[in-house]
Structure 1
Amino acid sequence: MSLSKSTQRQHLITELQTRGLRLHNAGQDHVSRRGGAGPSDHQAVTIDGTTVMVPIYTQSAWRSPFSVESSEQGHKLIENAIPLADITFADTPRFYDLSTTDGIPYSHIATLHSKDVLATTVLQTCIRYESRRKACKFCSIGQSLQAGRTIARKTPQQLAEVAKAAVELDGVQHMVMTTGTPATSDRGAAILCESADAIRAAVDIPIQAQCEPPADPAWYARMKAAGIDTLGMHLEVVTPALRKELMPGKAEISIEEYMVAFREAVAVFGRGQVSTYILAGLGDSKDAILETCSQLIEIGVYPFVVPFVPITGTPLEDLTPPSSEFMASILAPLGKHLQLAAMRSSDIKAGCGRCGACSTLSEYEH
């Protein structure tokens, strides 16, 4: 039985996101991300009208069967010498050419993710990352700072200046603000509030904030009042024993505590406007992930399941990414569950779930 075009596209994109892409010189002048927080070591590419983030700097990408062949007519995606599809790259945004009034390149303040999403890590340091004993083994938040591609703390004024330029010059549609976790009980909510307040005073752009659950749930209402539209609080791993092994510091906040926090946040931001990242391929079983997703959907949280991509320079850099078959075994039933629950990525006001470029989950919602 032949596969539908939609299923073929789902499979191809998932294969690219798990196995990576050998670029050689193609796309070198376009948007890519090496190290740091978020979809690191990735390149934004568009295939068959769908823009996705694909690993290019990882060890698996260097061994990938996928490559790009370039000519005057454009770029073609190749698998083992066989042309598969036309491929294009996201152009370097115009706002990257500018610097702040205090002389810092805009690209050190915020970067373009996918084709229309502005992203920033407000605080590029983290109490988890700074401790070898407590650091998440997959995290690379300090790499871009060490390499001089960003600064440790973005001020509200800098963020507002860059966001306004990104909207006006490049048509950015929404913004993601994440943060390393500071040694305060708000766990980053305070600096996200002051940042959002300044940005929304300068430009009308939907914002997602991402942080660990603050100790005081009053911060959810404060974030909403500051102009934050959606909230991400990321589980990453769902099996308690694996959480303690792979993210010992962050695992000090239990899954049960996260579930309480999710309920409190949904009460403020609304159903479908709170989300969580789950990294498939770190050892959680398919059943464990789907069971957790079921609980999250019942609460009103959008479970954004993405394939884990090992990042060079981290303790897990040699871990084999999940197969496309494993991802499909999760994303297909999860997509149906989201559809039945009337909770879709297209209804999210801002953030990773709305962008969807790091996973094919949205393809399975239809």
Structure 2
Amino acid sequence: MNPTPPPDMPTRTLITALQSFGVRLADPRAGLAGRRGGAGPSDHKPMTIDGTTVMVPVHNAPAFDSPLLVEPPDANGLGRLLRDGVPVGTVSFPSTPRFYALTTGDGVPYHHIATLHGRDVLATTVLQECVRYRSRRKTCQFCAIGQSLAAGRTIARKTPEQLAEVARAAVELDGVRHMVMTTGTPPARDRGAAILADSAAAVKAAVDLPIQGQCEPPDEDAWFARLRGAGIDSLGMHLEAVTEPVRQRIMPGKADVPVARYMRAFEAAVPVFGRGQVSTYILAGLGDSVDDILAMCRQLTAIGVYPFVVPFVPIAGTPLESHPSPPPAFIDAILAPLADMLAGAGLSAAAVKAGCARCGACSALRNYEAAGAS
């Protein structure tokens, strides 16, 4: 049985509400315990709604006061989703991946090397340290990359051999279909591209798995061909915020690489990877207006870059832990026209070979695309 929303509430609307408000769990033990800290979707728990697996905040401040509550799952594994006490749908929880039970020969648990995001994507932060994170003046205020390392839930540097071993197991045991490799930014001009290239080459030698690499724009555009040759199928270079004042305020270190450099990097990377195979992650709710974000998305789609817009989720323990989440109406005002924009540019999440846009679990954007095509 597929967990579904009621007929009068489209799936995309329910997902947007869940990701904006978060959700309270009547039984916190249900499904996976959730993911706290680290890069990517933190303080989240995967849930499946109408066949779509999404990452929903459960551990942060907005979730504790959310109007949405999931009741304990029934015998079929379905939990009723209530909003202010009124049923609005049902959800289920993916089971714990089998590869999580394994360890490497030197005793490192596989889930300290890579984790499952969404339904079928293996994700890893190859380097769990970042030159930006070392300074309070330079750190991205939303980032929790150091939390999981400090808590002993991961290791600082995953070797290419470890990544290859875990990726092969995740494919064989859990049917993983693509992989995301992100990295903290090292103190090097390539900004992590070299680490990603070595890691991707090792994984591709072990298993046939599409890979997205994610890093800041490297100093030389020649790195894009090197990354592609090493086995990176799609590339993410994440703006997070789209206007310079917001970037300077929210991510003062990362803002040293200006938006103009990102745009030049996008223009150089698209011919290497192909239209739609270069993407950027945009966090809606940090201070950029709807018009700011849509204007940037128009520039990006014209180049052939997929703008993956997600609602900002405040993470406990970060400087922005008390920052409000964006209301669902704000997200809808972006995603609805963005879905039309993507269609007009011939871009779609379904055509992305690997990575966040293909996974789609942190945003309802893919559901908006589907609604526009139906």
Tell me the TM-score range normalised by the shorter chain: over 0.9
- The one-letter amino acid of 1:9's match is T
Match of 2:227 among 198, 219, 223: 223
Q: Which residue of 1 aligns with 2:356?
A: 352
Which secondary structure does the structure 1 equivalent of 2:145 belong to? coil
Q: Which residue of 2 aligns with 1:236?
A: 240
Q: Relative to structure 1, is the Cα distance of residues 52 and 29 closer, same or farther in structure 2, using a 3 angstrom cutoff?
A: closer
Q: Which residue of 1 aligns with 2:38?
A: 36
Q: Is the 8 A contact 2:279 2:357 kept in 1?
A: yes
Which secondary structure does the structure 1 equivalent of 2:164 belong to? helix
Q: Is the 8 A contact 2:304 2:345 kept in 1?
A: no
Rounded to whole Å, the distance in 1 between the matches of 2:367 and 2:100 is 31
Rounded to whole Å, the distance in 1 between the matches of 2:49 and 2:84 is 18
Select between 22-31 and 289-298 the one with higher mean Cα deviation.
22-31
Which secondary structure does the structure 2 equivalent of 1:191 belong to? helix
1:135-214 superposed matches below 5 A: 135-214=139-218
Shift of 1:25: 2.3
Rounded to whole Å, the distance in 2 between the matches of 1:337 and 1:125 is 36
Q: Which residue of 2 aligns with 1:274?
A: 278
Rounded to whole Å, the distance in 2 between the matches of 1:31 and 1:292 is 36
Deviation by residue 1:150-196 (Cα, 9 ceiling, x = unmatched): 00000000000000000000000000000000000000000100000
Q: Is the 8 A contact 1:123 1:179 kept in 2?
A: yes
Q: Which residue of 2 aligns with 1:255?
A: 259
Q: Relative to structure 1, is the Cα distance of residues 206 and 31 closer, same or farther in structure 2, using a 3 angstrom cutoff?
A: farther
Structure 1 spans left out of the alignment, 5+ residues: none
Q: Which residue of 2 aligns with 1:72?
A: 75
Which secondary structure does the structure 2 equivalent of 1:212 belong to? coil
Shift of 1:341: 1.1
Q: Which residue of 2 aligns with 1:58?
A: 60
- The one-letter amino acid of 1:132's match is R
Shift of 1:26: 4.2
Which secondary structure does the structure 2 equivalent of 1:54 belong to? strand
1:3-14 superposed matches below 5 A: 5=7, 8-14=10-16
Q: Which residue of 2 aligns with 1:86?
A: 90
- The one-letter amino acid of 2:60's match is T
Q: Which residue of 1 aligns with 2:112?
A: 108
Match of 1:332 among 330, 333, 336: 336
Rounded to whole Å, the distance in 2 between the matches of 1:206 and 1:357 is 17
Are 1:294 and 2:288 matched, yes or no?
no
Moved segments of 4+, more than 2 Å: 4-8, 24-29, 71-74
Q: TM-score, normalised by structure 2?
A: 0.95
Shift of 1:24: 3.8
Structure 2 spans left out of the alignment, 5+ residues: 1-5
Q: How many residues align?
A: 364
Q: Is the 8 A contact 1:212 1:233 kept in 2?
A: yes
- The one-letter amino acid of 2:75's match is E
Rounded to whole Å, the distance in 1 between the matches of 2:307 and 2:66 is 28
Shift of 1:32: 2.0
Q: Is the 8 A contact 1:232 1:275 kept in 2?
A: yes
Rounded to whole Å, the distance in 2 between the matches of 1:295 and 1:214 is 21
Q: Which residue of 1 aligns with 2:24?
A: 22
Rounded to whole Å, the distance in 1 between the matches of 2:302 and 2:33 is 37
Rounded to whole Å, the distance in 2 between the matches of 1:5 and 1:266 is 40
Which secondary structure does the structure 2 equivalent of 1:89 belong to? coil
Which secondary structure does the structure 1 equivalent of 2:241 belong to? coil
Q: Relative to structure 1, is the Cα distance of residues 31 and 264 closer, same or farther in structure 2, using a 3 angstrom cutoff?
A: farther
Rounded to whole Å, the distance in 2 between the matches of 1:167 and 1:324 is 35
Q: Is the 8 A contact 2:113 2:158 kept in 1?
A: yes
Rounded to whole Å, the distance in 1 between the matches of 2:7 and 2:144 is 36
Rounded to whole Å, the distance in 1 between the matches of 2:172 and 2:358 is 21
Which secondary structure does the structure 1 equivalent of 2:232 belong to? coil
- The one-letter amino acid of 1:34's match is R
Shift of 1:286: 0.4
- The one-letter amino acid of 1:325's match is A
Rounded to whole Å, the distance in 2 between the matches of 1:6 and 1:31 is 31
Q: Is the 8 A contact 1:117 1:176 kept in 2?
A: yes
Rounded to whole Å, the distance in 2 between the matches of 1:84 and 1:197 is 46
1:295-334 superposed matches below 5 A: 295-334=299-338
Which secondary structure does the structure 2 equivalent of 1:153 belong to? coil
